[in-house]
Structure formats: structure tokens, C-alpha cells
Structure 1
């Protein structure tokens, strides 16, 4: 209240919070439905090659789906496809990784990321993803077959890149030193399976991982460790670590430790570049757009029907009077029966009343949506005001905020044009005028401006009239039909909460008005007394009211505070 509470406060706010929570849940469902519609639009754009349109659709749908895991994973994967088609391979890896963090078993997404890794030169991670897919389909050889072929291709690419780089390193070393190039033998140990490998003494961490991938079939996510003279295991991360490890023994042993994907120590980009193979940019990309626009389908299964089942189905169709040589479309029959029933229901004498009830419910939804949309514009206006950093920004930010407030007012007025006694819209108009008054008292805009401080009184007085009107409408209308069904636990409590909110707002406006009067050297005390009375009616907490009195621009002494707080009893204390 006052400066301390804004439009909040009051013991009746608990019910309002529950109503708001329910409204938020309904909003989330609405946003999710809209997200799915936009996602379908994006899929259509993608199928027709309109990549930028598809990208915008998917990004917008991602904002609306409110973190829903299934939709978010699909949208990130689709964005990864677009990046892949646009040759933005780093972006494709990023989007596919975000999708896999949500849904690790999305097969097409992981396949897509493997291709993006390959095209970006990261053969190590590409092979890790492909081997994950091979392992996943170990019980389905037909499904596994293309991934096995891809694995062989990547291993060959990795072997070619490693061999070429090894030769280049040895030639460079020989040219610099004039001596024969140096190679060293190392041992690779994967859970007791030890391999002896000859490598260059200048080998980096990425090349070491590439060698391990070549030597051990099925190896995917892993780190490489080495034991020092004290027996401590050290996890390698770079070229420097590998070179230090090579000096530990004549034939050093490196331990291949398989880990979860999140725990993999990835090689540096500069080292990965040395394992790169120039990719075929056309291979595999052309299929991506069609795959992204289609949901993943499980492997089809074939079911056999016994003869008696077929005979029974034909007998059933014959008794229904349906041609047994045509397919049985129960869906079509069901809709025909529904249509017949609907025709009968509409002609029934009770149908008009029911249809009127339906129309009224939709009208309530429209009115609530208009007020909520106005409230959104109000929030945007507050954001502009809060963004002001110094006095020079004030006029410009107020101009932006005023435009949003006008939009909010338009929504409230539209709601009242549809239903002149809609208390929520009237209450919101009062809050809007209150906000204008606060702007006028908070910023030192020049004289003649719409929000010059002298205009604050008028805004607060207008807001009070709206609050009075909303309370009058609430008294006349009572709880809605739906609220009334809940009895005291439903309609009456909801209505009481809305009334308490209006009284708190009314009290806030009177409080601010008393400060305007005090600044103008007018008699402000009666107005402040009225404000405190409104706070009492709204059952606000005594400490909140006392805090507001302490913050008043006129220093109120302790004795006067006692007078204002006389007979002020908290609801909890009364109990």
C-alpha cells in the first residue's frame, strides 16, 4: 500500500493468488497449443525449402512452448537441421546437443549431430555418436546396418587423416633437425585389452583419442589417463599432457576409461583441426529437411489375423447393413451418428438455453482476454519506467510508457463496450490512472507535459472514481454463476478477494493523494484518514499500514500514528 505495497496487500490475496495460478496454467496450455501450430507451419516451410521462414517459426514456437520437454527437443532438432542445410555446422551441433540434453534417445537428432560433427571436422565426436547408435540397435541388425557402414567410413576417414598428419609431422621434424624422424611405441589399455601402437613423438591429445577409436571397436565416449611414478591416475587434456606422459617410460601405457557423455574431456579445437578430413558437403544433407519435418516412427510390426476373426468381422458388417466388400470405417459411422444426434438436440426445446449458456461462456473468455492483454501492456509500460537510468532519459522513457498505457486503455474500453458492467475492466482502468499519477509524482518532467507533477491530483482522483464504480458493480452483480457453484469456498471468497483488492487500490490512491495535498500545502490529514479506513476495510496487516505512515512525505509523529492506528486489529489477532 502507499509506496510500500503498490496495489498488493490485504488478507484476501490468497484466493487471488490461486486464481492467478490457475490462469497461468491455462495460459501455458494455450501457449503450448499455439506452439504446436507454429511448429507445423515451420515443418511446412522446411519441406518447401523456405529455410529462413522455417527458422523463424521454430524459434517462435520454442519461446511459446514454455520449456515443454518433448516440443522443445523437436524444435531444437529442427533448428539443427536448418543450420546443417545452411552449412552452419557449429550451430547444428549446438542445437542438436540442446535437443539431446532433453531427449537423449532421439535417434534422428543424434544421427544429425554426428553428420554436423563430421562436416565440421570433428571426426572423433562424429564417430562417438555413430557408435552410440550402433550399440543402441545391437538387437536390430537391419536398423543397425547403415550405422555400421557409417562407422566404417568414419574410421577410415580418421585413419587417413591420422596417417597423413603423422607423415607431415615426421617430415617437418626431419627437415628441422636434419635427423631421421622419431616415432615411439605406446600401449593402449581398455579394461585389460592392451594394444601396442607406434605414434609420433609430437602427437597431440586429439590424435591420441583418434588412435584409440581406430584400435578399439565400439569405443564411443571415453577419456585417456596415465599413471605417474607415484601411481596416481592423471586425465589427459592437451598436447602438453601427452608429451609429458610420453616421457614417463620407454613404452608408456595409456588407459582408456569409458565414461558418460557429459564427462568426456573433449580435445581443443586447434588439435581437432589436425585430424580434419575435407567432407562431402552434399552427402547426407539433402535428406535432413524431409527427416526433420516428419516425426520419428517406430519400426513397423506385422500382425496376423486368424480366419475366425475375419469371418466375425464380415458377419458384423453384414448385420449392420454395410457392404462386406468395402472397408469398415467406424470413424465415419460414428460421425454420422453424432450428426444425427446433434440435429435432434438442436431441434429440442431446451437447446436454445444451452447454446446461450455456451455463448455467455465464450463471451467471458473474450472479456477476460481483453483485460489480460491490457494488463500485459501495463507491464510493458512499467518496464520502460524501470529502465530509466538518469533524468535525461525520463521524457523519452515516459513517452514509450505512455504509448503502452494507451494500448492498455484501449483493451479495457473494448471490454466495457462488450459488457458495460464488467467490474474487472473498470478496476483495471482505475489502476491505469493510478499508474499515471505515480509517473507524475516520480519524474520531474517540464511544465506543460502530460505528466507534469501538478496533474497528479487529477489522475489519483480519476482512479478513485473507477475504484468506487468497480466496488458498486461487484455489489450489484454478486458472484458469477460458475463461482456461485462453489458456495462460500468458491464464489463468495472470490468476490470478497476482488473487493478487497479494489479497497486496497482505493486506499493507495487516497494515500498518494494526501501526499500531493501535503506537497501543495493543502489540508492532507482527512485524506490520509480515509486511506487508513480503506486499508482497515480491506483487512490489511497493521504493520504494513504503520510502515506506510512512516514513509509519508509529512513526518507523522508517534502520537498521530497511534490515532490513525486506533481500533486497527489484524485478522489473525482477532482470532
Structure 2
């Protein structure tokens, strides 16, 4: 998020610094956050803060290239202003004059006493407002950090699962102590085209076991510990075998009655149609670039027209007749060779060996020989 703010320009650098502060509250001494904050401080001319963050990174990573570059730039800028940089400490010379951008201290004494009192009151009011703003900002930052930590805790409390539905394999995250009803809802969301299904897991013996209760789901989780990843197989069955079929069917009917017919068939339509935004983007891209993407469709017609005209002039000429005769002879030779090989196939089929059974009678053997002889005569005729 801080990198996004930095890309938007120097006006968004305070927000980037705030995001870096939140990241450092969650993960102290995070080098990337320190370097981004140092770059923001450097751009905002707060070199002492940038120098502090860069030195923190260099203490942890002495060979960090980006930190070394920022440190050199900051040191050279400070030395140009007359400041002496001694390791991690910035020393002010006796004759140093504060930079104009820094807060100025009024040294002149007012002539009138009432003006001095009014100014003191204004300073008190301003300090009070600044304290209130800082308290509000800290409270808001604390809430954001708590939300980040809570979201991380929620992510850590989930486990990765692979859902296998035929050839379609999808990864998802299941909450701890997930119930079978929650699992079916997740499967219904991940595979909207599925109807009546059963969920199975592979046990230690390699068999697919159907999960019908929360206890069996716990057994599936335990068996998956040894494999490292949990795999659940989604198998389509008849509607009477799925105990949750009626439930999801009623939900789809309810969505249809409420005018959400598109949601019930959205996943199935996605696989067979193109979204409108893709067509609009293609049209916009074509107009922006300035070329006609449909021109190639007419290339065949444009090419066939001169080809037909050229062929017509060539075919009707006297020279073409000789070539036609040569082509006819070649095709005749090819046809004769094909017929010759076709006859050889029938001749080879005639050489089929006849097998007799030992328990066959003389009449059955003679009948089989006569049938084979007639079949061979027919094959010779074909050949």
C-alpha cells in the first residue's frame, strides 16, 4: 500500500509513511518498510529521520544496496548544509543556523503584555488541538493494526485444501473445525455447475471413503496430516444419494423467484460465452491503435478472385491441354497401382489357415472345408 501511495506523487508521501508505521508496528525492524519510509522522509526534506531509518537497516543488513545509496545521498546533503555526520549521530556545528522549513522560535519580545498573554493562549490551544489530533490518529492506527492482526489470525486459522472434481482441481481454504454443511457450501460456490455430489477422501490404504458426517471429516483431516496436504474428491451421484441436494435446490429456486436467475447460471454461462466488457475493450483497443482486426477475414476472398481469373485464362489456353493429358496419365497410373494392391489384399486373405477341432466329425470337417473353398473362390473373383 505504501508503494502505491509513493507512485501517486509526493503529496501522498505522508500516507505512505503512515502505512509504513502500521507495518512496523506489526513487524518491527521490517527492512522494506524502513527503506520506503526513509525515501519518503528524504523526499519531504526530513533528512534526520531518513538517516535514522537507513542506519537501522544497515545495522541489520550491512550490505543492503538501497540502504547504502540512500545513506550516501542523505550524508552528502547534510554535509552540504554544514552538518557533521558521525556514524549514526548528526552533530550540529556552533555556527549552524536552523533551516527555514523548520519550526521557528520567536525570539523578539513583544512590546505589550496583553499580546504576550494572547499568544500564550493561542499556543496552548494549538498544542491542545495537536494533542487531540495525535490521540485520534494513534487510536485510528491502533484500530487498523488490530484489524490487520485479526485478519492475519483468521488467515492462520484456515487450512489449505484441494477440491478435485473430475479433471478440475481447485484450491480453497477451510476454517478449523469446519462442518460438513460448510464444506458443501464451499463446494457449491467453487463448482456452481455441480448438482448432486458426494465428498470423499483417500485413506491410508488408498481407498476412497465417503464423508457423511463431521466426525468423518475430522478423520479425513487426520489422515491428511501424514501426506502434507488435504485432498477431497467431489463425485457426482444421483440426486437421491446426496443428502444436501434438496437444500441447494431450494436455494436456487429462491434466487430465481427473487430475480437472481443470472446468478444461478452464471458459472455455466461463463464457460460458453464472452463477457461484454471483453468485446468493448477489444473495440476500444482496435480504435486506439488504428488497425482493422477484421481485415484478415476478407483475405481469402481477395486472394481467390485473382486466382480464379488467372486459372481461367490458363485452363482455356492450348498449352494447358498437354499438361492435362500428362496429369490424366499420372492419375491413371496411380489408380492402376491402387487397384493392383487392392487385388493383392484379397489374394492374401485367401491364404487364411483353416483350423479343425479334434472332436469334430467327418461331416463337420467336410462342411467347413467346402465353406472355406467357396469363400476363397469369392475372394479370387474380387482380386
TM-score w.r.t. the length of structure 2 is: 0.30
TM-score w.r.t. the length of structure 1 is: 0.22
More helix, by proportion: 1
Q: Which has the larger radius of gyration?
A: 2
More strand, by proportion: 2
